[in-house]
């Protein structure tokens, strides 16, 4: 009986952990979509991957910083 209770608790913890991870990924994907929406791209470009989005944002911010320094 005790093993059955432990099994249910483990399953419950695993389901909660899966829900937390699913929510984390939904929030991360939403944030990346918001970032993609403010980056300058051509409309016919394919959707950037997560790493491409981050690298492009980094380079774009760097370029904007450089142009401000030169202005």
Q: What is the CATH number of the domain that holds 27?
A: 4.10.280
- Report which of residues 44 and 52 the model is more confident about: 52
Instruction: Give the CA diameter of the chain.
Output: 74
Mean pLDDT score across all residues of the chain? 93
Residue 2 backbone phi and psi in degrees, to 5? -65, -40
Range of the domain at 50: 1-70
- pTM score, two decimals? 0.78
Q: Is 51 exposed, middle or buried (0-12, 13-18, 19+ CB in 10 A)?
A: exposed
What is the arithmetic mean of pLDDT over 51-68?
A: 96
């Amino acid at each position: 009986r005790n093993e059955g209770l432990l099994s249910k608790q483990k399953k419950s913890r695993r389901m909660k952990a899966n829900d937390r991870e699913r929510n984390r990924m939904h929030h991360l994907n939403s944030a990346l979509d918001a970032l993609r929406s403010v980056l300058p791209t051509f409309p016919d470009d394919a959707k950037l991957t997560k790493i491409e989005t981050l690298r492009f944002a980094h380079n774009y911010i760097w370029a904007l910083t450089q142009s401000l320094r030169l202005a």
